[in-house]
Amino acid sequence: QVQLVQSGAEVKKPGASVKVSCKASGYTFTSYYIHWVRQAPGQGLEWMGIINPSGDTTTYAQKFQGRVTMTRDTSTSTVYMELSSLRSEDTAVYYCARDRISLTSRPNYFDYWGQGTLVTVSS
């Protein structure tokens, strides 16, 4: 069965970076785009960007341009999301999510999600 398993919770100081992993299993890793979505405490969902695990191409939301980097390791079927220059407003649960349709960048419906990783930014 399809699974996305994320790394554990992190506590970081303002100005630091965090790298969250998302390990995929149960399907052909390079056939489906992966997105990152975050959710601040008590708030809604916010899309951060997308990575094509096959070609390593990415598109980021403008809000995160320059601070976010999404990469993948095909040997371990793992996608990574690194966010730098952390501030308190980045405290959130970060989710990876798989596109429902393979090998297409649009439309984007998220059929499988990781369990979420809580990142807390506090001095």
Partner 1 sequence: DIQMTQSPSSVSASVGDRVTITCRASQGISGWLAWYQQKPGKAPKLLIYAASSLQSGVPSRFSGRGSGTDFTLSISSLQPEDFATYYCQVANSFPITFGQGTRLEIK
State which of positions 70-99 bind partner 1 (CB under 8 A): 95, 97
Residue 79 contacts residue 24 (beta carbons within 8 Å): yes
Number of neighbouring beta carbons within 10 Å of residue 68: 17
Closest by Cα among 96, 120, 122 to 7:
96
Cα–Cα distance, 32 to 10 (Å, whole number): 27
Please pick, from the candidates 1, 62, 75, 123, the single residue that binds partner 1 as defined by CB under 8 A. 62
Shortest separation between residue 107's beta carbon and partner 1, angstroms: 4
Number of neighbouring beta carbons within 10 Å of residue 95: 23
Binding of residue 50 to partner 1 (CB under 8 A): yes
Binding of residue 59 to partner 1 (CB under 8 A): yes
Q: Which one of the spans 24-32, 71-79, 82-90, 110-118 is the region binding partner 1 (CB under 8 A)?
A: 110-118
Q: Which residues bind partner 1 (CB under 8 A)?
A: 35, 44-47, 50, 59, 61-63, 95, 97, 100, 106-111, 113-116
